[in-house]
């Protein structure tokens, strides 16, 4: 298996660009251009049941497509049932069919939460709905789509009509598929090309009725050079360009023996390639213009043995049972799972792929697979073989720090020594990310909900969906702003200039939250009007910082109360140094760590923190709108920002 993989990696690398050229020297195309995708109007009745049924339907159809170029499946009953059908058109070889279907399988789940949808590609078709539609030949969505680039001559129109009628007549007698070509009178090089295809479930009379209707519809596109009929039970296309795959045309010619030999050799690999495409294609779909990213993803998944089967993770989580839900954020929902070997895992379920989520998915896998540290959460694997992308992490039983810090009762478990351990662990993890010689990384979303706690309440940094690699020779990264209000450095929030000092600022906010048990971006819901940073700065200046201490800090014996207060005040001091308005004055993480550990280190006086007008920040705060997608979390985030959350916020 491992020896064969590099050859398959090459196929994946060239997936839609040159794979077809490896088949034969003549043209072979999966024709995976989308003609139309349409979703139904009725929402699913029960999300959990519907999704399980949908995934099973896709899996069943996949098994059939890789050998027959056609598949159908029925899973479930009632309003959450899934009736599915997929078919490639008759001139596609099996390998091209696999590629065409892989794209449909990735796109159609975007119809969720609606219970039905259909998609026409130029090489294949798929439909899924909650009732049996297999015998239907007409429907309200039947239409013709006409190309309007070129108006053709009267002679071409005559040839096109002849070719359309010929194909419509031949297909019912030929298993539902036919193609035809009609030379334009008076021309040596111009022809009209036609493909007609019925779904295999239709008998010959139903096929004829469907194509007769499609023929009348598509001929209405003349005099334009291109026309397609999208009917409930069939598909028809005419064009002045030869879009038909040439291999099928040539199988009866004298040159067909060579093609058949190549087909035979490739057919033996189709099943293997198909299984790999099911794994990789959804992940690569949004990176087709980014070859390096696709190669990296393939290498990561292979070299690190990261891939999990969707069915394995589905079973481990009890089909994503609500009882196993650990938390939910704007980027997905996290479930506890138990593998067959007894290992406990956390599965981040990134609901149905789209371009932005695919980008964050790739980024998180890429970033976290390149680093390893005791204070970073460990990625165990991923899956992108179903309609959802899944990330698999080590399971941390105590979930996230915010669950303790901001809860008066749970906070009692975090006496000062535990909190200081969490501070140091987080600092060590961040220093490693920033100063790792192989791959310097800026996290961009350091906050209490992204600090996970193991069974001994030791800290691990999680959620790398927004993280970015940072090169030594760069002064900063200019990037779209992303993160959570209350934790973002002012220069980043205002100008999008990202450096390690943005993480340092967030770390400083976290230090103040750990000491006070108060959340910075929740200041107006508490009993003080200033932000936490402003309040800490004012108390520090007045020498009254002890008034902000979380009462739970005093619930544990320490060497002496005065020593503990000195240590807590030192952490407040470092927190204010990290949140200074001028980035160059903030310490690097390694220096901040040294300040925290070395009690003899004389700390410089902090300068003013940024006094941000919170009413200005509210312009981008949609927390009052419960329907806004970012309000899946408890932390208000800038409206244009998408961020992932690992455990509850």
Tell me where in the chain the CATH 1.10.510.10 domain(s) lie: 401-611
Confidence of residue 460 (pLDDT cuts 50, 70, 90): very high
**3-class secondary-structure state, position 268:** helix
Q: Where in the chain is the domain with CATH 3.30.200.20?
A: 304-395
Counting Cα atoms < 13 Å in the Cβ hemisphere of 425 gives: 24
Angle between helices 561-578 and 500-516 (to 10 degrees): 150
> What's the pLDDT tens digit per position in 559-577?
567 788 899 999 999 999 9
Angle at 95 between CA 92 and CA 100, to 5 degrees: 65
Q: How many CA atoms lie within 13 A of 460 on its CB side?
A: 26
Number of H helices, E strands in the chain: 18, 21
Residues with Cβ within 8 Å of 232's Cβ and at least 6 positions away in sequence, in order, are 133, 136, 137, 138, 139, 141, 142, 210
Question: Residues spanned by CATH 3.30.430.20 within the chain?
Answer: 28-134, 143-245
Measured distance CA(592)–CA(184) in Å, rounded: 79
- Between CA 180 and CA 167 the distance in angstroms is 6
More confidently predicted of 267 and 131: 131
Just give the CATH number of 143-245. Answer: 3.30.430.20
Cis peptide bond prior to 223, omega within 30° of 0: yes
Q: What average pLDDT does the segment 374-397 reach?
A: 82
Cβ contacts of 573 within 8 Å, gap of 6 or more: 540, 603, 606
Residue 433: band (very low, low, confident or very high) from pLDDT cuts 50, 70, 90: very high
The dihedral of CA 518, 522, 527, 529: what is its sign?
A: positive
Which of the two residues, 389 and 11, has the higher pLDDT score? 389
Q: Average pLDDT, stretch 125-143?
A: 94
Q: Tell me the average pLDDT of the chain.
A: 78
When mean pLDDT is compared over 2-11, 65-74, 282-291, 485-494, the highest value belongs to 65-74
pLDDT recorded at residue 84:
95
Cα 356 to Cα 350: distance, rounded to the nearest angstrom: 11
Kind of pairing between the strands at 224-230 and 234-239: antiparallel
Which region among 3-17, 222-236, 493-507, 605-619 has the lowest average model confidence (pLDDT)? 3-17
| Higher pLDDT among residues 66 and 516, named by residue | 516
Confidence at 297, pLDDT banded by 50, 70, 90: low
* pLDDT of 526 strictly over 60: no
pLDDT band at 595 (very low <50, low <70, confident <90, very high): very high
Q: Which of 166, 240, 445, 503 is catalytic?
A: 445
Q: What is the pTM of this model?
A: 0.55
pLDDT over 80 at 352, yes or no: no
Residue 1, pLDDT > 80, answer: no
CB-CB contact of 360 with 331 (8 Å): yes
331, containing H or E segment: none
Q: What is the pLDDT of residues 140-195, one digit of tens each?
A: 999 999 987 789 999 999 999 999 999 999 999 999 999 999 999 988 889 999 99
pLDDT in tens, 77-106: 888 899 999 999 999 988 888 888 888 887
| CATH classification code of 401-611 | 1.10.510.10
Three-state SS string across 24-92, please? CCCCCCCCCCEEEEEECCCECCCHHHHHHHHHHHHHHHHHHHHHHCEEEEEECCHHHCEEEEEEECCCC
Per-residue confidence (pLDDT) for residue 571, from 0 to 100: 97
Per cent of the chain over pLDDT 90 is 45
Q: How far is CA 410 from CA 238, 281, 402, 420, 647, in A?
A: 69, 44, 10, 17, 16
Please give the CATH architecture assigned to the domain spanning 28-134: 2-Layer Sandwich (3.30)
What CATH architecture applies to the domain 304-395?
2-Layer Sandwich (3.30)
pLDDT confidence of 272, banded at 50, 70, 90?
Answer: very low
- Angle of helix 355-369 versus helix 256-284 axis, rounded to 10: 80
> Would you say the C-alpha torsion 288, 293, 299, 305 has a positive or negative sign?
negative
CA–CA gap between residue 362 and residue 464 (Å, rounded): 10
Bridge partners of 498, per DSSP, are: 477
Residues in the chain: 649
- Is 293 among the catalytic positions? no
Q: Is 458 annotated as a binding residue?
A: no
Q: Among the listed ranges 16-20, 69-73, 84-88, which one has the minimum average pLDDT value?
A: 16-20
Neighbours of 1 (CB within 10 A): 6
Spatial contact of 55 and 314, defined as CB atoms under 8 Å apart: yes
Which carries the bigger pLDDT value, residue 34 or residue 639?
34
């Amino acid at each position: 298996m491992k020896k064969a993989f590099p050859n398959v990696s090459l196929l994946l690398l060239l997936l839609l660009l040159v794979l077809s050229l490896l088949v034969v020297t003549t043209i072979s195309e999966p024709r995976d251009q989308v003609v139309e995708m349409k979703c139904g109007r009725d929402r699913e009745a029960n999300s959990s049941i519907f999704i399980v049924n949908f995934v099973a339907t896709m899996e069943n159809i996949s098994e059939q497509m890789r050998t027959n170029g056609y598949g159908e499946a029925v899973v479930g009953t009632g309003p959450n049932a899934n009736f599915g059908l997929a078919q490639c058109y008759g001139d596609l070889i099996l390998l091209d069919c696999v590629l065409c279907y892989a794209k449909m399988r990735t796109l159609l789940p975007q119809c969720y939460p609606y219970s039905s949808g259909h998609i026409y590609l130029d090489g294949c078709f798929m439909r899924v709905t909650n009732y049996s539609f297999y015998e239907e030949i007409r429907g309200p969505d039947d239409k013709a789509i006409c190309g309007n680039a070129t108006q053709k001559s009267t002679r071409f129109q005559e040839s096109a009509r002849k070719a359309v009628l010929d194909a419509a007549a031949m297909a019912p007698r030929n298993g539902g598929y036919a193609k035809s070509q009609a030379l334009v009178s008076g021309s040596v090089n111009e022809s009209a090309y036609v493909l007609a295809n019925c779904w295999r479930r239709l008998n010959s009379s139903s096929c004829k009725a469907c194509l007769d209707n499609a023929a009348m519809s598509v001929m209405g596109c003349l005099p334009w050079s291109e026309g397609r009929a999208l009917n409930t039970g069939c598909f028809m296309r005419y064009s002045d360009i030869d879009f038909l795959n040439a291999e099928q045309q040539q199988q009866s010619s004298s040159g067909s023996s060579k093609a058949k030999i190549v087909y035979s050799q490739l057919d033996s690999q189709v099943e293997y390639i198909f299984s790999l495409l099911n794994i990789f294609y959804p992940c690569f779909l949004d990176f087709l213009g980014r070859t390096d990213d696709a190669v990296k993803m393939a290498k990561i998944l292979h070299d690190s043995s990261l891939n999990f089967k969707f069915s394995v993770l589905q079973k481990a989580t009890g089909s994503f049972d609500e009882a196993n839900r650990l938390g939910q954020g704007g980027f997905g929902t996290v479930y506890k799972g138990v593998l067959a070997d007894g290992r406990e895992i956390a599965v981040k379920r990134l609901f149905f792929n789209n371009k932005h989520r695919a980008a964050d998915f790739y980024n998180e896998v890429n970033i976290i697979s390149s680093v390893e540290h005791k204070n970073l959460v460990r990625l165990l694997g991923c899956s992108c073989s179903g309609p959802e992308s899944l990330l698999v992490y080590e399971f941390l039983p105590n979930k996230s720090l915010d669950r303790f810090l901001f809860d008066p009762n749970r906070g009692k478990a975090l006496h000062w020594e535990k909190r200081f351990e969490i501070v140091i662990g987080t600092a060590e993890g961040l220093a490693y990310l920033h100063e790792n010689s192989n791959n310097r990384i800026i996290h961009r979303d350091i906050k209490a909900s992204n600090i996970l706690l193991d069974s001994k309440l030791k800290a691990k940094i999680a959620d790398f969906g927004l993280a970015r690699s940072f090169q030594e020779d760069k002064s900063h990264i200019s990037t779209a702003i992303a993160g959570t209000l209350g934790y973002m450095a002012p220069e980043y929030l205002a100008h999008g200039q990202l450096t390690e000092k943005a993480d340092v600022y967030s770390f400083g906010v976290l230090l103040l939250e750990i000491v006070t048990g108060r959340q910075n971006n929740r200041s107006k819901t508490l009993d003080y009007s200033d932000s936490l940073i402003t309040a800490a700065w004012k108390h520090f200046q007045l020498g009254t910082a002890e008034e902000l201490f979380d009462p739970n800090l005093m619930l544990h014996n320490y060497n002496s109360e005065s020593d503990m207060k000195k240590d807590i005040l030192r952490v407040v001091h470092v927190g204010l140094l990290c949140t200074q308005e001028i980035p160059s004055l903030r310490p690097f993480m390694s220096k901040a760590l040294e300040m925290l550990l070395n009690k003899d280190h004389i700390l410089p006086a902090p300068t003013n923190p940024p006094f941000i007008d919170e009413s200005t920040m509210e312009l981008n705060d949609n927390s009052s709108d419960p329907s806004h997608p970012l309000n899946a979390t408890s932390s208000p985030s800038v409206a244009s920002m998408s961020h992932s959350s690992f455990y509850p916020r």
